[in-house]
Amino acid sequence: MSMKIDVFNHVFPEEFFTAAEVLMPKAAVERWKAMPELYDMDARMRVIDRFDDYQQIISISQPPFDLIAGPDDSPGLARVANDGMARICREYPDRMPWLIASLPMNNTEAALAEIDRVIDDLGAVGFQIHSSVDNKALDQPEFRDIFAKIAQRGKTVWLHPTRPASHADYLSEDQSLYEIFWGIGWAYETSAAMVRMVCSGMFDEIPNFRVIAHHWGAYIPHAEGRFTPLWERRNATMSGTGKSFADTLKRPMAEYFKDFYGDTAMFGAQAQSQAGLDYFGADHSFFATDCPYDLEGGKNLISSTIDVIENLRCDAADRQLIYEDNTRKLLGL
């Protein structure tokens, strides 16, 4: 029987919530407490059980550890979070059988050790990495060993956006207004991280580097027309050296973006989902919902995403790839 495997959804294990609560802004804590499906697995199961033949690969919700803990404390938070997800997987093996681990990205030595621990001891199938760490781009040299280790262990990166409300919409302001930092800014952050990965040569330098870009690659499918030699020449004229990043890439930049994978967490947007599928193709697209982030604990996200997929211009074989087969193949499930 065909299974729908949701590769991008979020939890707060109770033990992690307890440890992180004292470090997070009060307003954020109150917002998360208002969503019991995030941390109360009985409440979550009441949502999940509405859907037959449906499973979740769970990952930790926002915020990234580096936003709430320094390099001395983030490794402990990561262990609590990953151990908590492993407990959930043991307790709900039919519905939440797998976990995507998180890492203390602001402590490279600890992150490298945690990669081995969660794979060898907890059975993690991949790693959620946010689009920046301490406001630093992911292509910075200090993170390269982490990505190389993930790829060496045969695992995939789940790229999740992050951008705080303190990141103003305009340079003349001190704070983002109207939730723009989230509603629009997060898609920008995902897209910017993808471009930095490509232009810095990470796909050339790291063998078997695999990345699932949340929300079907954010703005990348809609910017395809800009990934041309004009972009590369503009960089040469602006760099001050007369050289472009393209001079060191092994392929045209446009080709690298097709190496990413995308997921279907598009909040029910049909046209944008079709654009994501058309750009990445069915063999690089994965079922995901972003559960439980709606006003009904994830029920609407799950049902609307399934409705969108059923109405995409593709055939049944493509839907089977998206729902299940791509995930089992990529993750070795």
Range of lowest pLDDT (18-22, 263-267, 286-290, 296-300): 18-22
The secondary element (H helix, E strand) that includes residue 101 is strand 98-102
CATH (domain of 187): 3.20.20.140
C-alpha–C-alpha distance, residues 63 and 132, integer Å: 12
**Residue 26 lies in domain:** 4-331
User: pTM value?
Assistant: 0.95
Sheet holding 126-130, edge to edge: 4-11, 54-60, 98-102, 126-130, 156-160, 211-213, 261-263, 285-286
Q: Which residues contact 236 (CB under 8 A, 6 or more apart)?
A: 242, 243, 244, 246, 247
Q: Six-digit token pair at 44? A: 């979550």
pLDDT in tens, 79-134: 999 999 999 999 999 999 999 999 999 999 999 999 999 999 999 999 999 999 99
Two tokens, residue 42: 């009985």
Sign of CA dihedral 49, 52, 53, 54: negative
pLDDT confidence of residue 102: 97
Structural domain total, the chain: 1
Task: Quickly tell me which residue has 């999740």 as its tokens.
Answer: 160
Q: Is the pLDDT of residue 233 over 90?
A: no
pLDDT of the residue at 29: 76
Label residue 34 by pLDDT band (50, 70, 90): confident
pLDDT band at 1 (very low <50, low <70, confident <90, very high): low
Going by C-beta distance under 8 Å and a sequence separation of 6 or more, which residues neighbour residue 324? 2, 3, 4, 5, 287
Burial of 170 (0-12, 13-18, 19+ CB in 10 A): exposed
